[in-house]
Amino acid sequence: MSNPVTFVNIIDVEPDKQPQLLELLKEGTEKVMQHRPGFISLTLLASADKTRVLNVAQWESADDVKATQSDPEAAEYAKKTAGIASASPGLYQVVGEYK
């Protein structure tokens, strides 16, 4: 098995829309993402100033991420997110981890 990949989505949002965005992301994770092949984990981080949300997800492979992005249910949540916020997604490799 190859090393997992990390999908990071930096999402800019108006402060008054952050709670709505968080609920949408939680719903999408619970109903779609966590049931997709290759899903390992997902962490949502909300900025204290309410202008940004980070979605940090671990996947078994980049192919699993691509397949999920092509899934109609996942695409529907992406469309809803785009309706209230501006997302900058990308794939990352862990190059250091300290505990």
Q: Angle 68-69-70 (CA atoms, 0-180°, nearest 5)?
A: 90
Task: Find the CATH number of the domain harbouring 32.
Answer: 3.30.70.100
Q: Are 9 and 88 in contact (CB under 8 A)?
A: yes
Q: Is residue 16 part of a domain?
A: yes
**Residue ranges making up the domain that contains 41:** 5-92
User: What is the tally of structural domains in the chain?
Assistant: 1
Helix (H, G, I), strand (E, B) or coil at 94: coil
pTM of the predicted model as reported, rounded to 2 decimal places: 0.91
Res. 95: pLDDT tops 90: no
For the stretch 77-94, pLDDT in tens is 999 999 999 999 999 988
Q: Is residue 97 part of a domain?
A: no
Q: Angle 73-79-85 (CA atoms, 0-180°, nearest 5)?
A: 135
